[in-house]
Amino acid sequence: MDWNTTPLDWNRIRAFLATAEAGSLSAAARALGLTQPTLGRQIAALERELGVALFERAGRGLVLTPTAGALLDHVRAMGEAAGRLALAATGQSQRIEGPIRITATEAYAAHVLPPIVTRLRAAHSGITVEIRAIDRTADLLRREADIAIRNFGPREPDLIARKVGEDRGRPYATPDYLSRLGHPRCWHDLAQAEFVGFGETAEFIEGMRALGMGLTARQIPVQVDSYLVHWALVKQGAGIGFMMESVGDAEPLVRRVLPEAAPIVFPVWLVTHRELHTSRRVRVVFDLLADALSLPR
């Protein structure tokens, strides 16, 4: 389509169609919810744009000029197409089917989402799910995902977020490794312990420092960029690693490193874009995730 040849303003065309069908400016203005002067200006602007006269006065009403009469069928077709477009968009937004893309960390994607997604598919078989297991922040405004599970609220004002609960993390290791450490009771007892690092070493050390644990690079002989690999190494006795309490406590190969220490508490947020207000599909999945993630684990 050559867009340079179709610069017409739909609001002006709609004003013309409503006036042609109503027979007067006042009746057309009421139908469109506009003031009569506003409607008159729109029609005048369309006449200038087309370079033709559209109406002639006949008593208190208006009649179409011959030129306008020739255009009316085309304008009616445009109005009908606009109506079909609105109905299609409404139907699309109200159907609970189609793709949904969820992003979460590897740990959440592997250990928390599977039963939730299974329940979602059982309730709404028309929804197809794509899970993006990444440990970086997906850009929802660029539609890298529809819904994100995060440990922080959004910074972008156009995103919608709900804090759905809190989770707890702890350090874990195999019983054999804990025995070699002498069964530590506090963070200071871990001064000679080895950790399975996750991500950049400097960032891992900084995170541990925030917990009151001053690690050195020497204490991180193994470093990975995958949380699933991190957890697999911990279960094999490669060192101490961190996992959600619900996952770590259920794993028979490991034990809590500091059973009496307070857990690391972090918030759980659901974040999505503004389509939450218009798409039943997004709303249904968002609400199901919120309900599931708010339950104790």
CATH of the domain at 73: 1.10.10.10
pLDDT tens for 143-186 read 888 999 998 888 888 889 999 999 999 999 999 999 999 888 88
Q: What is the mean pLDDT of residues 288-294?
A: 93
143 shares its domain with 187: yes
Provide the pLDDT for residue 95.
66
| pLDDT at residue 296 tops 90 | no
Lowest-confidence range among 105-114, 187-196, 258-267, 275-284? 275-284
78 shares its domain with 143: no
Provide the pLDDT for residue 82.
75
278 shares its domain with 131: yes
124 shares its domain with 241: yes
239 shares its domain with 261: yes
Residue 216, burial from CB neighbour count under 10 angstroms (0-12, 13-18, 19+): exposed
**How far apart, in Å, are the Cα atoms of 81 and each of 5, 68, 76, 78, 133?**
19, 19, 9, 5, 41
Instruction: Output the six-digit token pair for 17.
Output: 């169609």
| pLDDT at residue 5 tops 60 | no
117 shares its domain with 141: yes
Residue matched to tokens 């999945």: 285
48 shares its domain with 169: no
Residue 239, burial from CB neighbour count under 10 angstroms (0-12, 13-18, 19+): buried
| pLDDT at residue 278 tops 80 | no
Q: What is the mean pLDDT of residues 260-275?
A: 89
| pLDDT at residue 4 tops 60 | no
141 shares its domain with 278: yes
295 shares its domain with 270: yes
More confident residue, 257 or 32: 257
Cα–Cα dist 88/236, whole Å = 55
Instruction: Output the six-digit token pair for 37.
Output: 């002067």
| pLDDT at residue 70 tops 50 | yes
| pLDDT at residue 261 tops 90 | no
pTM confidence score: 0.66
pLDDT band with cut points at 50, 70 and 90 for residue 6: low
CATH of the domain at 188: 3.40.190.290
Provide the pLDDT for residue 1.
46
24 shares its domain with 145: no
pLDDT tens for 206-244 read 888 877 778 889 999 999 989 999 999 999 999 999 999
Query: How many structural domains are present in the chain?
Result: 2
pLDDT tens for 7-44 read 678 889 888 988 988 888 888 888 788 898 998 999 99
Residues 74, 78, 79, 84: is their CA dihedral positive or negative? Answer: positive
Q: Domain ends where: 94, 122, 148?
A: 94
226-232 long-range contacts, Cβ below 8 Å, gap at least 24? 226/106, 227/105, 227/106, 227/107, 227/110, 227/135, 227/198, 228/106, 228/107, 228/110, 230/196, 230/198, 231/107
Strands (E), 181-228: 196-198, 222-224
* Mean pLDDT, rounded, of the chain: 87
Provide the pLDDT for residue 212.
74
Cα–Cα dist 117/111, whole Å = 11
Q: Domain ends where: 50, 73, 94?
A: 94
Show the domain range for 43.
3-94
158 shares its domain with 295: yes
Provide the pLDDT for residue 68.
86
Q: Domain ends where: 79, 94, 109?
A: 94
66 shares its domain with 158: no
pLDDT tens for 86-145 read 655 555 556 678 899 999 999 999 999 999 999 999 999 999 999 999 887 888 877 888
Provide the pLDDT for residue 164.
94
Provide the pLDDT for residue 93.
53
The gap from C-alpha 148 to its chain's centroid, in whole angstroms, comes to: 5
